[in-house]
Amino acid sequence: MTVWDDVIGQEQVVTTLDRAARTGEGMTHAWLFTGPPGSGRSVAARAFAAALQCPLSGCGECRECRTALEGSHADVRVLATEGLSIKVEQARELVQEGGLRPSVGRWRVILVEDADRLTERAADALLKALEEPTARTVWLLCAPSTEDVIITIRSRTRHVRLRTPPVEAVADLLVRRDGVDPAMAGYAARAAQSHVGLARRLARDEGARIRRRDVIVMAGAIRSVGDAIGAAHDLATIAEEESGAASAERDAAERARLMELLGADAAARTQPPHVRAQLSSLEREQKARATRFGRDVIDRALLDLLSVYRDALLVHLGTPVALVNQDAVESVQTVARAFRPEGLLACMDAIGLARERINANVAPLLALEAMALSLRVEPRSAG
Amino acid sequence: MSDIPPLVLVRGPEELLADRAVAAVLADLKVEAPDLDVVRVGPDYHSGQLVMDTSPSLFGGSTCVVIEALHEASEDLHADLLDYLAAPAEHVTLVVRHAGGPRGKKVLDALVAGKARIFECPAVKSDRDKSDFVTNEFRRAGRKVTPEAVRALVEAVGKDLRELAASCAQLVVDTEGVVDDRVVETYHGGKVEATGFRVADAAVAGQAGEALRLLRHAIATGVDPVPIVAVLAGQLRQVVRVGSASRGASSAVLASSLGMAPWQVDKARRLASGWTPEGLATSIQAVAAADAEVKGGGRDPVYAVERAILTIAEARAAGRR
């Protein structure tokens, strides 16, 4: 067993990182991990952090390895945001911490999981630390692509590119790590298009599978303008429900914990000012998180929808590539019959445009409506 | 003695009316006691100040303490007020303003229990309330005003009650005889309080010129393009949803199943009659594009909204042909 076990389908990257941790060859003070969502950027970064701390350079069994992988190692600081962005205050905190010597390990590792969510000012705050590194500090930044971080960060880091892992590798990981049934693992890995986290969720959560099926069925079923507006409404509602269900419980727990921490009386009708201030800042944070979560859910649904049209196009063109939706071949066939190839491409463009717009802060429901209207099955394009 | 009781409560969110009530109370008191000492208690209150203000002066005379905003006052002031109300001073008139909200409920209760005179200052929101207000303003000044003039005035400057009152005062001072719509037109001609809703109503009804005019008014009076686009999207959405629902259902049933108000359903039904599905589809897509542009995707947000409005009006006209 090694720390690299969960880094799947990335042999080349693992070789590079392993060599750097083991021999110091090619080691540098700042690394930028890029790769498509779900390819395991943060998993790879955590594994590298563990390998750096481990006396055996990544045995995967010692205390150093285990705490580093879990994120509780004293010298591994992990910053992951659940909000829409990482603020400059948080970045400054990291810089301060980066100036300290490691306390127990060989390196002080600072891992930023969503470097693409650094605001411009936050990114600027990191520059000095990245340019003039402290002797035993290593920065690990993760982002979907090099374009997602500002150019001055890009030029100060060593770039590690992860690829989309093969479906078999993801399925294998689900079976090995999470004890999922092999058939289910295969389905989940394919449906999630090799996104490891998503595949895991699909394999374990019946609700997620049902929601995915609902979205896929939607593809060929939009005929009239009314259908389109209804479908957009359904999509937005699904996202809202999922986001609400996931966060309500957690929000309440966080609130209770904060009250306990402040020694406030939870039953009191009105709280003293200092408690109110803390509570409202927590609520702001939770709201930002809910916004991001809602958007992520919609984005995921749109990716599912996109996969149907992609499959339909493959059917049309007779390309010998595996379908994403092998389990829903009838839906794919329906869509393939309803559209010509150019119509399918137009649909895929419309979905892409909606994703872009939601990212650019357009009201999600409106963006979805405009998209759904473009997805209408028109009688003249049937054939 | 004046007929003002020692405790006065001015309650309600409409500031102008509250200001007037306080001024009227002070004027009444001054008839009786021209050297009345008026103490205004604002937000910078320190504990114990009230006791000082209400204790008898060496030279006699009466005092009026005006608490400006009980709904925002500190806990100290609340506590001191409660103490004072338990033992009010004889020479003091206490006037308390409260704009609403749950804060200071104990003090309010104590005031009511102490038989305070209450002036209600409810928010003036609907056009009918505003019309009544304007009519009253002119009547107080002993002037005649025609209903058309009232309507024109409310349409022109009705957004803020203070502005409305000031306009009334101006017309009273500047003009003579009956105030009719021609006079109002002279002073406020061409100015319209446009909201996103009025813009959207005109656009969805296919009146491109009217919609653009209102849009310009709205932008000029400080309405942001972003909410206008949101309202456009909302109106179109309602038309589609009502239009694609079953025709036979009553508006009340439809309203509850679609999560809309019955009047919204009726309005959307009226609007829907002139629309084709294709036209609605084009319009919604234009609005979505405009939303992206007003949120930073384009260079000129106002132009983006204008283009969306033109597209909507055109799509509607095409459906009618």
**Each residue of B255-291: pLDDT tens digit?**
888 878 788 888 888 888 888 888 999 999 999 999 9
Q: From B242, which residue of chain A is nearest by alpha-carbon distance?
A: A226
Burial (CB count within 10 angstroms: exposed 0-12, middle 13-18, buried 19+), residue B189: exposed
Interface test with B, best of A222, A349, A369 (most B CBs within 10 A): A369
For A286, the token pair is 């939770």
- Whether the CB-CB separation of A85 and A114 falls below 8 Å is answered with no
- Whether the CB-CB separation of B121 and B95 falls below 8 Å is answered with no
Give the highest mean pLDDT range of A90-99, A259-268, B68-77. A90-99
Kind and range of the H or E element at B86? helix B75-86
Average pLDDT over chain A reads 86
Cα–Cα distance, B24 to B17 (Å, whole number): 10
- How many CA atoms, within 13 angstroms, populate the side-chain half-sphere of residue B163? 10
Q: What pLDDT is recorded for position A159?
A: 92
Contact B277 A224 (CB under 8 A): yes
**Is the pLDDT assigned to residue A23 strictly greater than 70?**
yes
Long-range Cβ pairs for the range B107-116 (8 Å, 24+): B107/B70, B107/B78, B107/B81, B107/B82, B108/B9, B108/B11, B108/B70, B110/B81, B110/B82, B110/B85, B110/B86, B111/B7, B111/B9, B111/B85, B112/B9, B114/B7, B114/B85, B114/B88, B115/B5, B115/B7, B116/B5, B116/B7, B116/B8, B116/B9
The answer, for B280 touching chain A at a CB cutoff of 8 Å, is yes
**Eight-state DSSP code of residue A3:** G
Q: What pLDDT is recorded for position B247?
A: 67
Alpha helices, H only, A157-266: 167-178, 182-191, 196-204, 206-221, 225-262
Confidence of residue A197 (pLDDT cuts 50, 70, 90): confident
Same domain? B312 vs B200: yes
Cβ-Cβ contacts under 8 Å between A and B: the total is 65
Span A253-263, average pLDDT: 84
Contact A369 B288 (CB under 8 A): yes
Interface predicted TM-score (ipTM) over 0.95: no
Q: What pLDDT is recorded for position A313?
A: 92
Q: What pLDDT is recorded for position B223?
A: 85
Region of poorest pLDDT, from A226-235, A284-293, B39-48, B189-198: B189-198
Contacts of A151 (CB under 8 A, 6+ apart): none
What single-letter amino acid sits at B282? T
Q: What pLDDT is recorded for position B257?
A: 80
For A312, the token pair is 């339909």
Cα–Cα distance, B218 to A331 (Å, whole number): 48
Give the highest mean pLDDT range of A88-92, B2-6, B85-89, B103-107. A88-92
Rounded to two decimals, what is the model's pTM? Answer: 0.69
Per residue in A149-192, pLDDT (tens digit) is 889 999 999 999 998 888 889 999 999 888 888 889 998 998 88
**Eight-state DSSP code of residue A86:** B
| Nearest CA-CA partner of A186 in A177, A176, A197, A199 | A199
Nearest-Cα distance to chain B for A319, in Å, is: 33
Q: Give the length of chain B.
A: 321
Same domain? B225 vs B250: yes
For B75, the token pair is 């806990």
Span B89-104, average pLDDT: 85
Number of domains in chain B: 3
Same domain? B270 vs B233: yes
Task: Give the residue numbers spanning the domain of B60.
Answer: 7-120
Fold of the CATH domain A11-161 = Rossmann fold (3.40.50)
Burial (CB count within 10 angstroms: exposed 0-12, middle 13-18, buried 19+), residue A234: middle
Contact B237 A369 (CB under 8 A): yes
| Nearest CA-CA partner of A1 in A54, A58, A43 | A58
For B161, the token pair is 């009650």
Q: What pLDDT is recorded for position B228?
A: 92
Q: From A358, which residue of chain B is nearest by alpha-carbon distance?
A: B292
Nearest by CB to residue A373, choosing from B281, B292, B297, is B281
**Is the pLDDT assigned to residue B1 strictly greater than 70?**
no
The answer, for B74 touching chain A at a CB cutoff of 8 Å, is no
Span B167-192, average pLDDT: 82
Q: What pLDDT is recorded for position A382?
A: 38
**Is the pLDDT assigned to residue B245 strictly greater than 80?**
no
Nearest by CB to residue B240, choosing from A226, A360, A374, is A226
Burial (CB count within 10 angstroms: exposed 0-12, middle 13-18, buried 19+), residue B113: exposed
**Angle value at C-alpha A51, between A49 and A53, nearest 5 degrees:** 70
State the CATH number of the domain containing residue B44.
Answer: 3.40.50.300
Same domain? B219 vs B232: yes
For A15, the token pair is 């070789």
Region of poorest pLDDT, from A248-252, A311-315, B81-85: A248-252
Same domain? B84 vs B24: yes
β-pairing verdict for B92-98 and B63-67: parallel
Per residue in B109-124, pLDDT (tens digit) is 888 888 888 888 888 8
Contact B284 A226 (CB under 8 A): no
**Is the pLDDT assigned to residue A125 strictly greater than 80?**
yes
Q: Could you give the percent of chain A with pLDDT greater than 70?
A: 98
Span A240-251, average pLDDT: 78
Same domain? B62 vs B113: yes
**B165 within domain boundaries:** yes
Confidence of residue B2 (pLDDT cuts 50, 70, 90): low
Render the burial of A291-310: b for 16+ CB within 10 Å, e for the rest: ebbbbebbbbbbbbbbbbbb
Contact B285 A229 (CB under 8 A): no
Confidence of residue A354 (pLDDT cuts 50, 70, 90): very high
Which residues are B64's β-sheet partners? B38, B93
Cα–Cα distance, B283 to A348 (Å, whole number): 21
Q: From B285, which residue of chain A is nearest by alpha-carbon distance?
A: A370
Contact B288 A374 (CB under 8 A): no
Q: Is B237 helix (H, G, I), strand (E, B) or coil?
A: helix
Nearest by CB to residue B237, choosing from A224, A229, A362, is A229
Span B65-79, average pLDDT: 85
**B249 within domain boundaries:** yes
Kind and range of the H or E element at A354? helix A341-359
Q: What pLDDT is recorded for position A381?
A: 41
Q: What are the phi and psi torsion angles at A291 (to 5°)?
A: -60, -50
Q: What pLDDT is recorded for position A114?
A: 87
**Is the pLDDT assigned to residue B321 strictly greater than 70?**
no
- Whether the CB-CB separation of A371 and A351 falls below 8 Å is answered with yes
Q: Could you give the percent of chain B with pLDDT greater than 70?
A: 96
- Whether the CB-CB separation of A380 and A240 falls below 8 Å is answered with no
Same domain? B182 vs B219: no
Nearest by CB to residue B240, choosing from A225, A360, A370, is A225
Q: What pLDDT is recorded for position A379?
A: 53
The answer, for B297 touching chain A at a CB cutoff of 8 Å, is yes
Q: What pLDDT is recorded for position B41?
A: 85
Same domain? B213 vs B305: yes
Q: Measured between beta carbons, which residues in chain B are less than 8 angstroms from residue A226?
A: 240-241, 243-245, 277
Nearest-Cα distance to chain A for B89, in Å, is: 32
Q: In this structure, what is the dihedral angle of CA atoms A313, A318, A320, A323, given to the nearest 10 degrees?
A: 40
Contact A363 B230 (CB under 8 A): yes
What single-letter amino acid sits at B57? S
**Is the pLDDT assigned to residue A367 strictly greater than 90?**
yes
Q: Measured between beta carbons, which residues in chain B are less than 8 angstroms from residue A376?
A: 281
Hey, which residues 259-278 in chain B have their CB within 8 Å of chain A? 277-278
Q: What pLDDT is recorded for position A383?
A: 34
Nearest-Cα distance to chain B for A367, in Å, is: 6
**B218 within domain boundaries:** yes
Sign of CA dihedral A338, A342, A345, A349: negative
Phi-psi sector, A180: left (phi>0), alpha (psi -120 to 50), beta: beta
State the CATH number of the domain containing residue B205.
Answer: 1.20.272.10
Same domain? B203 vs B288: yes
Phi-psi sector, B227: left (phi>0), alpha (psi -120 to 50), beta: alpha
Same domain? B205 vs B311: yes
Domain residue spans in chain A? 11-161, 167-204, 225-380
Q: Give the length of chain A.
A: 383
Q: What are the phi and psi torsion angles at A37 (to 5°)?
A: -55, 135
Q: What pLDDT is recorded for position A2?
A: 82
Nearest-Cα distance to chain A for B293, in Å, is: 9
Which residues are A31's β-sheet partners? A140, A158
Region of poorest pLDDT, from A214-223, A361-370, B274-283, B290-299: A214-223
Task: Using alpha carbons, list the distances in angstroms from residue A177 to A8, A62, A171, A174, B178.
Answer: 12, 19, 10, 5, 88
**What single string gives the DSSP state of each residue in B28-78?**
HHHHH-TT-EEEEE-S---TTHHHHHHSPPTT---EEEEES-GGG--HHHH
Contact A363 B291 (CB under 8 A): yes
Contact A366 B291 (CB under 8 A): yes
**Is the pLDDT assigned to residue B153 strictly greater than 90?**
no
Contact B291 A369 (CB under 8 A): no
Contact B281 A224 (CB under 8 A): no
**B2 within domain boundaries:** no
Contact B240 A363 (CB under 8 A): no
Same domain? B202 vs B218: yes
- Whether the CB-CB separation of A49 and A257 falls below 8 Å is answered with no
Confidence of residue A361 (pLDDT cuts 50, 70, 90): confident
Region of poorest pLDDT, from A77-81, A343-347, A373-377, B58-62: B58-62
Contact B292 A357 (CB under 8 A): yes
Burial (CB count within 10 angstroms: exposed 0-12, middle 13-18, buried 19+), residue B142: exposed
Same domain? B114 vs B136: no
Q: Measured between beta carbons, which residues in chain B are less than 8 angstroms from residue A224?
A: 244, 277
Q: What pLDDT is recorded for position B50?
A: 84
Nearest by CB to residue A370, choosing from B241, B244, B288, is B288
**Is the pLDDT assigned to residue A56 strictly greater than 60?**
yes
Nearest by CB to residue B287, choosing from A227, A361, A366, is A366
The overall longest dimension of chain B from CA atoms, in Å, is: 87
Q: What pLDDT is recorded for position A380?
A: 45
